Structure 1
Amino acid sequence: MLYGIIADVHGNIEALSAVQAFLAERGVERLICLGDIVGYNADSDACVRLLARPPVLAIAGNHDLIAIGRIGDERCGAKAAFALRRTRTALSADSKRALALLPKRRVIEGEIVLVHGGVADPCQYMASPAQIEENALLLREREPSGRICFFGHTHIQALYEIEAGVATARPIGERVSLGRGRQRFFINPGSVDAARRSDKLAELAVFDSWRQEISFYRVPYDHERSERRAAEEGYRMTWLDRHFGTARGALAHLRPRWR
């Protein structure tokens, strides 16, 4: 099976559309979304319609869980928390119901595990070999058959190989062979949304489960339009928001009327 692997879309329909077109050109058979469908940009409802239902294999990320009130935003930065408050007011009831049905973890093909952050904590960042090693132990306990773990949340493309309990970062690129040995792998496709990165390229990966090959890609999208719409719809903190705090943020949905 040829899978497209994406994560951290954050309501960015421009980036998601570019990624979907890229995957269609390569004949990808199934799409996997590792969570954070919503938050931070202006089109969360549209992204939920495209990703939170079959045939897409999706899981919930921390932004999705915050948007429906399952967890709080205490572990978010100020800009992300501000955008999530706007997301909660804008998200439709249908979208909230769809997000509420998403699992926090999935296992496919018997050995492929999908998580958002850490194996047991969708808010945990796995950004170092030590954190990968800790989660490899958790994976062995909770999903003993899991050999390949796809994760998101860090917004950084990464490939870690775990052998004898030691995690080693491997170079990323196209057609990287994983083989069929006893090693385990933790793989991050990067983030579709590039609003918080300087390069403004949508990131993704393609996994061939038959050949056991992973390929990493980065594609351009109309980031200027995405950013402009996010600002116009009240997802970006302004000088007034920073100085007047959450009271003004709670009225974000009124902005288009009085700007």
Structure 2
Amino acid sequence: MRYAVLADIHGNLEALQTALEYTQKHSLSHCIILGDSVGYGANPNECLEWSLKNAEFYVIGNHEAAVIHPDLRLGLIEWARIAIEWTAERLWPEHVKKIKELPYLQIHKQVTLAHGTIHSPERFDYLFDLSAAHKSFMALGTTVGFVGHSHVPCFFSEKEGTGGCLKEGILKLRRNERYLLNPGSIGQPRDRDHRLSFGIFDDSELTFEIVRLPYDNKRASEKILAAGLPASLAYRLL
């Protein structure tokens, strides 16, 4: 079975719609959401509604958590805090109710899902290096772990003790190896490539593909400015 693996949509409807055009064209009907469908972007309700209705699996991200737990906003930098407060004021009540039901960790067959790390999903730490990867491998009870949060597509392999950024293309997974995989960000990539990023996981062929697509980032940026959100959130999309 093939899964579209999406993370960090961050209210960017233009990017999400472009990704969905691709998944529909390639008959990808199964979807995993690794959190942060909201925050930063100007269309939180639209992006969250799609995620809640269409994701087969959906783990909570730090931005969803900050919507329902205001104390978590204290740890955010100013422009992120402003964005999440703006978002929280505008989310539909039924969406807030459903956010409260999202888990920090999900396990399906040989796959584990979390937003930040496998070993401490409720802390929303970043999985950037081999040290953090080692801790998550120790907690991982499955063959593959998917995480988001860093907005950078990357991989870590346990036995080989290697890891790094992933470029556009297909990574072949070995059957006797365990992996931590990050699909990058739909709505706000942070690897100096402004194209949206998501993953395709094939659990039969054991492959993980990174897809990069251009989208109307100018329109997404303009909508952020028009909404009165911090200008830095708009300019980082360009």
Question: Structure 2 matches for 1:82-101, cutoff 5 A?
Answer: 82-101=82-101
Query: Who is 1:111 aligned against?
Result: 110
Q: Which residue of 1 aligns with 2:171?
A: 176
Counterpart in 1 of 2:139?
A: 138
Query: What is aligned with 1:59?
Result: 59
The answer to whether 1:163 aligns with 2:164 is no
Is the counterpart of residue 210 in structure 1 residue 211 in structure 2? no
Residue identity in the other structure for 1:148: V
Q: How well do the aligned residues superpose, as a CA RMSD in angstroms?
A: 2.0
Instruction: Pick one of 147, 168, 180 that aligns with 1:186.
Output: 180
Closer/same/farther in 2, CA of residues 39 and 168 from structure 1, 3 Å limit? closer
Provide the rounded CA distance (Å) in 1 between the counterparts of 2:149 and 2:55.
Answer: 22
Given the superposition, is the C-alpha separation of residues 88 and 171 from structure 1 closer, same or farther in structure 2, using an over 3 Å criterion?
closer
State the aligned residue count: 230
> Partners in 1 of 2:150 and 2:32 — Cα distance?
17
Q: In 1, distance between residues paired with 2:189 and 2:55?
A: 27
Report the 3-state secondary structure (helix = DSSP H, G, I; strand = E; otherwise coil) of the residue aligned with 1:42.
Answer: coil
Deviation at 1:96, TM superposition (A): 0.6
Deviation at 1:6, TM superposition (A): 0.7
Q: 1:197 to 1:14 in 2, by over 3 A?
A: farther
- Following superposition, the deviation at residue 9 of structure 1 comes to 0.4
Tell me the SS of whatever aligns to 2:169. Answer: coil
- Cα distance in 1, alignment partners of residues 56 and 150 from structure 2: 22
> Residue 217 of structure 1: SS of its match in structure 2?
strand
Write the distance in 1 (CA, Å) between the matches of 2:180 and 2:197: 17
The CA distance in 1 between the partners of 2:180 and 2:146, in whole Å, is: 6
Q: Distance in 1 between matches of 2:75 and 2:46?
A: 26
TM score, norm. by length of structure 2: 0.89
Counterpart code for 1:32: I
Write out per-residue CA displacement over residues 68-91 of structure 1, whole angstroms, 9 at most, x where no aligned residue: 227512332221111111111111
Match of 1:243 in 2: none
Q: How far is the alpha carbon of 1:57 from its aligned partner?
A: 1.7
**For the structure 1 residues 171 and 43, does the alpha-carbon distance in structure 2 shift closer, same or farther, using more than 3 Å as the test?**
closer
Does residue 8 (structure 1) correspond to residue 12 (structure 2)? The answer is: no
Q: Choose 1 or 2 for highest CA Rg.
A: 1
Alpha-carbon distance in 1 for matches of 2:27, 2:102 = 26
Aligned-pair CA distance for 1:121: 3.0
CA distance in 2, matches of 1:178, 1:54: 27
Runs of 4+ in 1 over 6 A off after TM superposition: none
SS at match of 1:231: helix
Q: CA deviation at 1:179?
A: 2.3
Residues 147-204 of structure 1 show CA distances to partners (whole Å, capped at 9, x for unaligned) of: 100000000000111117x3444755423211211x2100000000127665321100
Compared CA separation, residues 107 and 192, structure 1 to 2 (3 A): same
The secondary structure found in structure 2 opposite 1:106 is strand
The residue identity in structure 2 corresponding to 1:111 is Q
Q: CA deviation at 1:100?
A: 1.4
Amino acid at match of 1:131: A
- Give the gaps of 5 or more residues in structure 2: 233-238
Of stretches 125-134 and 168-177 in structure 1, the one that deviates more from structure 2 is 168-177
Which has the larger displacement, 224-233 or 48-57?
48-57
Query: What is the CA–CA distance in structure 2 between the aligned matches of 1:52 and 1:9, rounded to whole Å?
Result: 13
Partners of 2:167 and 2:155 in 1: how far apart? 6
Partners of 1:54 and 1:46 in 2: CA distance: 12
